[in-house]
Amino acid sequence: MRLHLLALLARGPAHGYELKQDLEQLLGSAYPQPNVGQIYVTLGRLEKTGLIEGEEVEQSSRPNKKIYHLTDAGREALRTWYEETADEPRVRDEFFMKLALAPRTGLAEQITLINKQRRQYLNTMRNLSKLAAAENRDNRIAQLLIEGAMLHLQADLDWLERCQEELEELE
């Protein structure tokens, strides 16, 4: 969340609740809604590390609020983040470890695990389809997020099919 908040602050100063609303509006209902407490904790850490600075702003009828802005170090951290590629191969997949270790433990059958995981992916796809239908069509970012998740799930379903075929050949 650190870099997400830095990116939002790159366009201008904001307080924590504004940043929460910006994330929700940008990403829509498919993305897990950020906890405002987590946002303020993260802002505090970013301020400690010098990536942002906060300034108390007095309000007449409300408690003071703290407005944050990006520092030069924060802008540089953000530039570095944009330069990096996302290289996250799913070699350390939790489900695959269950599948690989099941025969050694005798506590689960591989085909049963595959079928259970398949049902989970299909349920998730149904839920994402409902979100896509309910999401504002003008929010292209949220629609792309949902579409990407659906494509990943379809690839996971194809991979489960491949695993099942291989394991059935071994029997």
Domain edges within the chain? 2-83, 90-170
To the nearest whole percent, how much of the chain has pLDDT over 90?
64
- Whole-angstrom distance, CA of residue 67 vs CA of residue 110: 53
Tens digits of residue pLDDT in 9-35: 999 999 999 999 998 888 887 788 888
Residue whose entry in the numeric block shows the structure tokens 């949220």? 142
Q: Output 30 or 50, whichever has higher pLDDT.
A: 50
Numbers of helices and strands, H then E, in the chain = 7, 2
Tell me if residue 5 falls in helix, strand or coil: helix
Compute the mean pLDDT over every residue in the chain, rounded to the nearest whole number.
Answer: 91
Domain 2-83 belongs to what topology?
A: Arc Repressor Mutant, subunit A (1.10.10)
pLDDT digits (tens, 9 = 90+) for 97-132: 899 899 888 888 999 999 999 999 999 999 999 988
Q: Which helix (H) or strand (E) holds 68?
A: strand 65-70
pLDDT reported for residue 94: 87
pLDDT at 75 over 90: yes
User: What integer pLDDT is reported at residue 137 of this predicted model?
Assistant: 77
Q: Residue 37 has what pLDDT?
A: 92
Bridge partners (DSSP) of residue 159 are none
Task: With cut-offs at 50, 70 and 90, classify the pLDDT of residue 84.
Answer: confident
CB 113 within 8 A of CB 99: yes
Q: What's the pTM value of the predicted model, to 2 decimals? A: 0.74
Contacts of 98 (CB under 8 A, 6+ apart): 108, 113
Mean pLDDT of 60-71: 92
Instruction: Report the pLDDT value the prediction gives residue 3, as an integer from 0 to 100.
Output: 92
**What is the model's pLDDT at position 146?**
92
% of the chain with per-residue pLDDT over 70: 99
Is the per-residue pLDDT at 59 higher than 90? no
The residue-averaged pLDDT of 147-153 equals: 94
